[in-house]
A and B are shown apart, each in its own frame.
Chain A
Amino acid sequence: MKSTLKLALGLASAALASTAVSTAAHAEDLTLCWAAWDPANALVELSKDFTKQTGIGMKFEFVPWTNYADRFLNELNSHGKLCDLIIGDSQWIGGAAENGHYVKLNDFFDKEKIKMDDFVPATVVGYSEWPKNTPNYWALPAMGDVVGWTYRKDWFSRPELQKEFKEKYGWDLAPPKTFDQLKQIAEFFQKRQIDGKTVYGASIYTERGSEGITMGAMDVLYSYGFQYENPKKPYEMEGYVNSEKSVKGLEFYKALYDCCTPPGASNSYMGEGVDAFKSGQVAMHMNFAFTWPGLQKDENVGGDKIGYFVNPKGPDGDQFAQLGGQGISVVSYSDKQESALKYIKWFANKDVQAKWWSLGGYSCLNAVVNDPKFPSSQPYAQAFLDSMAIVKDFWAEPSYAPLLQASQKRFHDYVVAGQGSAKDALDGLVKDWTQVFQDDGKM
C-alpha cells in the first residue's frame, strides 16, 4: 500500500514538474500578428528555423485582409498583449509611432549593427520611418510589395490576335508601356470569345470597404501627376490633389472600369482579382506582387501562360506604382520584448532573407534583391524590382484611417456609382482631407 502511495505521489510530482516546464516553455513563445495570406504561410515555414536556433516557439495570429486593420488596430488601441510582434500595414506607422504602440528600434539597430542602408530605400521610408525621411525607425522592412500587373502571355502571343490587334491599333500586342496602351488592350479583349469562353479586359481594384479602390485609383493617379500636397508647403492640397492632371487620371480610371472590367466587378480587391485571373476571365490583372508566386504556380494560368509588367507610364511619361508591403515591429505592450527583438535580429540576417525570398516572401534586403542572380531567380523578379524602384505610398499620418475612408468614398462614388464628375470627387477629397488635418491641428 505504502509503495503504491509513493508511486502515486511520484507520478503526481512528475506530472506537476512537466506541467511547470511546459508552462515555462510556453511563456517564452512569441505571437506574431499578420494578415492571412500566402506570404504568412511562408513566414510560418521560415520561422521554424528561428525556433530551432533559439528554442523560442512561434505562434501566429493571422486575420483575413478584410478584417486585418479593424482587428489589429483595435488590439493596439486597447493596449492588448496578444501580439508580441506585428507586421503592420505601412500606413499605420505614423499612428503606431505617435500613440506608442510600437517600440522604437534605433538603439536596438545600433546595438545589433543592423543598418537601414542595407535595405531598399523606398521600403525603409515606407515601412520603418516616422516622421517620414527622418532616421526614426519603428519597424524592420519585412515584406516588400507593390502594385503591378499580370497578363495572359498565351493570349497575347496568339498570331491571329496579334494580327487583329495590329490592324486595329497599329502597334504590336505586347505588355503596355503607357496607360493609353493598357486601355486599348483591355478594350480589345473585352467580351472577346477565347476558347469558347467570354473574357474581359482587366481586373482592377474597386473595393469599397477597406482600401481597395484607393490603392487602385492611386496607382493610376500618381503617373498622371497627382500629388498629395505642395512639396514646399505640407498639407496644402488645393491644386495638387485636384489638379487637372489628377482629374484626367481619375477619369481614366473610371473609363477603364466602365469599358473593360468583368460584369459585377464593383467591389473587387486582391482576392477577387486573383479569382478573376485564375478562372481565365481577364487578360490583365492589377494586383500586389505578393499574389504573383501563387499565380505563377497555378496549373491553369501560371507557368508559360502568365507574364508580368510594371505599372505603365502616364501621359507625361511619369511612372509610379502604389507601395504595398509592411515592416515588422515589436509591440510596446508585449511582456516578451527581448525575445521579440531576438526575432527581428534573426530576421534581418542575410541568409534568412534569402530563404524568405525563396519561400515566397518578398525580401527588402539589398543584398538579396541586388544579387546578380535575383532577376532571373523567378519569372516575376525583374518586374518586382522595377516596380519597387517607382513606388509612392498613401498618407501614413496618424489620421490615415479617416483620410483613407474619405478617398474610398469619393473614388467609389465617382468611379463605380458614377455620381458627379472626377473634379467633384477630387474637390470633395480636398475638403475632407483638409477637415481631417484641421481636426488634428495640423492646418
Chain B
Amino acid sequence: MLNRTADNAARATPEPLAKKIRGISDKGLAWLFISPTILLLLAINIFPLFWAIYLSFTNFRANRPNEVVKNLGLSNYQRILGDQDIWIAMQTTAHFVFWTILLQTVIGFTLAWLIDRKFRGHAFWTTIILVPMMLSPAVVGNFWRFLYEPQIGLFSYVISFVTGIPPTNVQMLSNVELAPWAIIIVDTWMWTPYVMLICLAGLRSIPEYIYEAAEVDRASNWRQFWSITLPMALPFIMLAVLFRGIENFKMFDMVNLLTGGGPGSTTEVASITLKRQAFESWRTGYSSAFAIILFVAVFGLANIYVKALNKVKQR
C-alpha cells in the first residue's frame, strides 16, 4: 500500500522536475533541506549582529532616520568604558549573577539530593517544587511586587511577625540596601527548581554499583558524598551554573517589573541600562557598542567556562 502511494507520488512529479531532483547529490539534498534554516539564521541572527557592529562605530539614532550618519571610530567604545554609570551597572549585574547562582546552586543541589532519597511522596514534592519555574516571569514579578508591598504585602507581615519590625518599615523595593536582595530572593525562588532538575539528572546518572562498592569498603556517608556524589554530579552542576549565569547576565524582565532599576540606580543591571540607552534615549550607535561589549564579555566568559567544564567531564 505504502509502495503504491510512493509510486503514485513519483509518477505525479512532473518529468523535468523529477530529472532535476534525480540529479541532486546527497550533499546537495542536505543543503537543500537546511538552507531555509540557514537563511533564517542569517536574516535573524547573523545580519543583525554585523549590523549592530557597524552601528556601534556610528552616531546613528533610530529616532532620527533622516540625519546624516557619522563614523565615530572607537569613540562609542571609549565613552562606554570610561562611563562610571556603566561600570556601576556592571557591578550591579555581577552582584546579582554571583548571589543568584550561589544560592540557586546550593539550594537546588540540596533539594535534588533530598528528592533523590526517593522518600514517600517524592514525586508529588518534586512537582510542587517545580511550580515557580512554570510561571511566567511577568506574573512572578507582579505578584512579588504585591507580596513586598509594605502596607498590604504578605512578605512584610511575615518579616514583621518574625522580627517585630513594623511591616511598613519593611520596604523591600524602596530601600537601597534591601532592593537588590528583593530581586535575588525572587529569582532564587523561581529558578532554583531548574537547577534542582539538572542536579537531579546528574545524581540519578551515578551508577548504584559505585555506592555498593564504597559500602563494601566501609566508606562513610560523608566520604561517599565527597568522593562519589559531588565529583560525579559536578559536570551537571557546572552546566546548571552556565545556563543560569547566561540567563541572569541578561536578566531584564524581573528587575524591570520589580524595581525598574530603582531605587535610584541601585538595581539597574546592564540590560536595563542598555534598554534605556537604546529605546528611551535613542542612542542607537552607543547602545550597539554597549551590546557588543556585553556580547563579547558573555561569549568570552562562557567559552572559558565551557573549556573548564570539558576538563571536569574528562576527569
- By a beta-carbon cutoff of 8 Å, the part of chain A in contact with chain B is 69-70, 73-74, 77, 79, 95, 98-100, 198, 208-209, 262-267, 281, 398, 401-402, 404-405, 409, 412-414, 416-419, 439
Contact A417 B266 (CB under 8 A): yes
Select from chain B the residue with minimum beta-carbon distance to A207.
B260
Query: Which residues of chain B (169-223) have a CB below 8 Å from chain A?
Result: 169, 171, 173-174, 176
Which 10 interchain pairs have the tightest Cβ spacing?
Answer: A417-B264, A266-B174, A402-B281, A413-B264, A263-B150, A264-B150, A263-B168, A208-B262, A416-B263, A209-B260
- Distance between Cα atoms of A398 and B256 in the complex (Å): 26
Contact B174 A264 (CB under 8 A): yes
Query: Which residues of chain B (237-284) have a CB below 8 Å from chain A?
Result: 256, 259-266, 276, 279-283
Contact A264 B176 (CB under 8 A): no
- Distance between Cα atoms of A263 and B63 in the complex (Å): 38
Contact A265 B174 (CB under 8 A): yes
Given contacts A264-B149, A401-B281, A405-B281, 8 further A-B contacts (CB under 8 A): A77-B62, A99-B64, A262-B151, A263-B168, A264-B151, A267-B262, A401-B280, A417-B265
Find A417's partner among B64, B85, B256, B263 (CB 8 Å cutoff). B263
Q: How many A-B residue pairs have CB under 8 A?
A: 93
Contact B265 A409 (CB under 8 A): yes
- By a beta-carbon cutoff of 8 Å, the part of chain B in contact with chain A is 59, 62-66, 85, 149-151, 168-169, 171, 173-174, 176, 256, 259-266, 276, 279-283
Which residues on B sit within 8 Å (CB–CB) of A209?
A: 256, 260-261
Which residues on B sit within 8 Å (CB–CB) of A281?
A: 151
CB distance from A198 to the nearest CB of B (A): 8
Which residues on A sit within 8 Å (CB–CB) of B85?
A: 409
Sample of 13 A–B contacts (CB below 8 Å): A70-B279, A74-B279, A98-B64, A99-B66, A208-B260, A263-B169, A264-B168, A267-B262, A409-B265, A416-B174, A417-B176, A417-B265, A419-B176
- Distance between Cα atoms of A413 and B262 in the complex (Å): 8
- Distance between Cα atoms of A77 and B265 in the complex (Å): 28
Which residues on A sit within 8 Å (CB–CB) of B66?
A: 99-100
Contact B264 A401 (CB under 8 A): no
- Distance between Cα atoms of A73 and B62 in the complex (Å): 10
Which residues on A sit within 8 Å (CB–CB) of B63?
A: 73, 77, 95, 99, 401
Which residues on A sit within 8 Å (CB–CB) of B256?
A: 209
Which residues on B sit within 8 Å (CB–CB) of A412?
A: 262-265
CB distance from B172 to the nearest CB of A (A): 8
Contact A417 B262 (CB under 8 A): yes
- Distance between Cα atoms of A39 and B157 in the complex (Å): 38
- Distance between Cα atoms of A353 and B64 in the complex (Å): 34
CB distance from B35 to the nearest CB of A (A): 30
CB distance from A379 to the nearest CB of B (A): 29
Select from chain A the residue with minimum beta-carbon distance to B153.
A264
Which residues on B sit within 8 Å (CB–CB) of A208?
A: 260-264
Select from chain B the residue with minimum beta-carbon distance to A69.
B280
Take A77-B62, A398-B64 as given contacts and tell me if A266 and B281 are in contact as well, using a CB distance cutoff of 8 Å.
Answer: no
Select from chain A the residue with minimum beta-carbon distance to B62.
A77
Find A416's partner among B264, B279, B281 (CB 8 Å cutoff). B264
CB distance from A428 to the nearest CB of B (A): 10
Chain A CB within 10 A, most for which of B63, B150, B256: B63
Contact A405 B262 (CB under 8 A): no
- Distance between Cα atoms of A262 and B168 in the complex (Å): 9
Contact A439 B174 (CB under 8 A): no
CB distance from A75 to the nearest CB of B (A): 11
CB distance from B98 to the nearest CB of A (A): 21
Find B171's partner among A79, A264, A401 (CB 8 Å cutoff). A264
Which residues on A sit within 8 Å (CB–CB) of B276?
A: 405
Which residues on B sit within 8 Å (CB–CB) of A69?
A: 280
CB distance from A160 to the nearest CB of B (A): 25
Contact B176 A418 (CB under 8 A): yes
Chain B CB within 10 A, most for which of A198, A262, A267, A439: A267
